[in-house]
Structure 1
Amino acid sequence: MNNEFNSLQKDISQQFITMLQDWIPANSSIAIAVQNSYIYFHPGNYGIHFELGRQVEPGSIAQLVMHTKKRTDPIIDNTLFGTPIYGIGYPIHIQETPAALVVVLPSTATTQKLEPYQFLTGKRDEEWTPVAIDQISYIESLQKRTWFYVEKDQFKTSITLKELQMRLPPFFIRIHRSYIVNIHFIKKMARDLTSNFIVTLKDGTELPVSQSYLNHLRSALEF
C-alpha cells in the first residue's frame, strides 16, 4: 500500500504540480482526491496540517468534480478547512483512475474584483424594496430560495448564499449552510441543552451554528 501511495505521489508531482506553477498564484494551495479520499496536498499560503487519506465530503469541490466529471467555476467550498475557501476543481486521472484536482486560491484572487453590496432589493408580495445592507440582520436559504430579514420583515431575493458570501461586507459571517448573519445584530453565542452552538440575535431570533463554521465564527469574533 505504501509503495502504491508513493507511486501516486510521484505520478502527481510529475504530471501536474510543475505545470500548475506556471499559471496559478504562488501562494495557492493544491489538493488532489482519488475516488473518495485525498492523496495529495500542497499547503500554499494556508500553512496548516492536512491529513492525507481524509475522506471527500459531500458538497465539496472535489466531490462535485468527480460526480460531474467537469471543471467547476470558481466557487466557495466550506469543507476543506472549516472556513470558506475560494477554489476551482478540475477532473484529472491518476494512473487511469478518475480524480479531482482542487486549486485553492488566495482570498484576494477572483476572476473579477467585485465591490461589496451596498443594498439588496427584496420582493414581498408584489412589491420590490431596496434595503441598505447594514439594516439586514440575517440571510437564510430556505426551500431553494434566499430570504433576508429586516426587523420582522421578510424579503425574497434571487441571489444565492454562495453569491452573497462573495459580495457581502466583512461584518456578515456564514454560520451555517443555510444562514449568514450580520454581527451587529448578534446578542450572544452559547450552547443549548444538546450542546449545539446557537447564535441569538437582539430581537430574540435563534440561529444554529454548524460544526463546519464554528471555528470561523470563533476566529472572526475572537471568543
Structure 2
Amino acid sequence: MFYSGGGVYRALSTEGLADFEALAASGLLNDPRIVGTERADGTPAATGLLPGEVAAVLKHEPVPFVSYPYEWTFSMLKDAAHLQLDLLLAALDHDLVLKDSSPYNVQFKGARPVFIDVGAFERLRAGELWVGYRQFCMLYLFPLLLQSLKGIDFQPWLRGSLDGISATKLRGAMSFRDRFRRARSGAALSARRVGHRRGRGRLAVGAAAGREQGACCEQ
C-alpha cells in the first residue's frame, strides 16, 4: 500500500495481478462490503515497493476514518468476524480463498464493516487448507469468547498483542465450567460453517477448519 496525490494505491506482483484478475472476473469487487477498487490509469511511481517487478497498480476508495480492532466495541468485532467468514464463503463459490484472517483488513464506514485488503484474495489451490483459521481464532473468536464468557474486555489484550490471544492464554482465563457454557450474544463464531461448501478444494478448507478448531483450542 502507498499514497500518492491524496490517493490510496496498491502495487501488485505478477502473481498478485493474476489473483486480482480472478477476483475481478468473479464479480466480487461489486460487493459493497469490499472497498471500491480499480486498476490505476497513469500508474503512480511504485518503484522499489516490491522485491520484483510491479505488474500493476490498484487504486482504492479512501476510508474516511481509520480505526483499529483494539478500539472497537464487542459488536463491531463480531460484525467484522461475520464479514470475514461471509466473504470467505463467497470467495469459495468462485474458487478463491482469503489467505489470512486479520481484523486489521476491516474498516468501518459508519456502522458498516468494509473489507479493505483485496490483496488477501487468491486463487484456491486443490487440496489447500485455510491457513487463516488460526489467525481467525486468535484475533476474532478468542477475544469474543473472553468478553462473552468472562466479562473481560478484549481491547487491552489486543492492544498488548497484535497477534491476538493465544489458545493457551484463553484457556488460562477460563474455568472448567466455562468450557461447557454457551457464549452469550452469539459470540461463539465458528469457521466450521466453511465446511458446508462442497467440492474437492472447498471440502479441504472445511476439513481444515474442523481439525484446526480442536488443535487451536487445546494448545
Same fold (TM over 0.5): no
- TM-score w.r.t. the length of structure 2 is 0.25
Higher relative contact order (CA 8 A, sep 6+): 2
Highest Rg: 1 or 2?
A: 1
